[in-house]
Amino acid sequence: MDPIELLKYFLFSCLVFVPLERVLALRPEQRIFRRGWTLDLTHVFATGFLIQLGVAGLLLVTAWLSPHLVPETLREAVAAQPVWLAFLEVLILADAGFYFVHRAFHVVPWLWRFHAVHHSIEAMDFLAAHRVHALDQILTRGATLMPIYALGFAPEPIALFLVLYRWQSLLIHANTRIGIGPLKWIVASPVFHHWHHANQPAALDKNFAGQLSVLDLVFGTLYMPRGEAPRRYGTDHPVPDTYLRQLASPFERAPKPKPATALG
């Protein structure tokens, strides 16, 4: 995505989510220009560019290696599937990759230092979804996308998944009380992901999926208490509040081990 396309995407997301977060706000008292919004705006463009660059490199490597690793007959069969079936397969495979890598970023201490940048969010909204360390998202999106490209899925189901991935990631971070009824046990929703960011002991290391909450149900990491919302977000892990220091912080001397309430 070039800078002009990135700007168009951001402006359109503002047109969608700013009114949504006013009309159906989970926390009506939260301001649009809340604390840290300029930091997150920097992440939209600077980190967004770095992620696009890194993921493009990984996909080039995938395109070079996949003919040597995956039989051509399998790639042809995968590409020939109906779009609807291929999309469902892409969704499941990609989100399974996302789930396990995301979980690793919580469990492995060195990886957590990158992911803590994202969990430093203390006010949930669509803009905060962009606060990530570039290496965190390059590795996570690589694990999400490389297998489906290697298997030879056609462009159409991959494009449909990428649209879902981008917009659902904004929705689940948004300051909105939108619910999806019983589907919340299958599909990731704002209530599902807000609990992932909750800085409360009971929500520690829960709700890792990006699109399919059923993955957390299957693997025993689902947490959505009925009729409750998180009291606070963030992490006890020290994270700088400026952009360049956030990029550098994972490479600095290791901090003390995180306390039991460090993750959301």
pLDDT confidence tier of residue 262, bands split at 50, 70 and 90: very low
User: Does pLDDT of 260 surpass 60?
Assistant: no
If phi > 0 it is left, if psi is from -120 to 50 it is alpha, else beta; for residue 11 that is alpha
Give CA separation, 59 vs 26, 64, 144, 202, 263, in Å: 38, 9, 11, 38, 31
Closest to 228 measured CA to CA, from 203, 211, 210: 203
User: Does pLDDT of 119 surpass 80?
Assistant: yes
Closest to 58 measured CA to CA, from 150, 165, 152, 156: 150
H helix runs in 120-184, sequence order = 134-150, 155-173
The model's pTM is 0.92
Closest to 225 measured CA to CA, from 201, 202, 208: 202
pLDDT confidence tier of residue 254, bands split at 50, 70 and 90: low
**Span 203-214, average pLDDT:** 97
Q: Which pLDDT score is estimated for 264?
A: 38
Residues in the chain: 264
How many helical (H) and strand (E) elements, i.e. helices and strands, does the chain have? 11, 0
**Span 152-171, average pLDDT:** 97
CB half-sphere exposure, 59, CA atoms < 13 A: 15
User: Does pLDDT of 259 surpass 60?
Assistant: no
Spans of all domains in the chain: 3-251
User: Does pLDDT of 117 surpass 60?
Assistant: yes
User: Does pLDDT of 122 surpass 90?
Assistant: yes
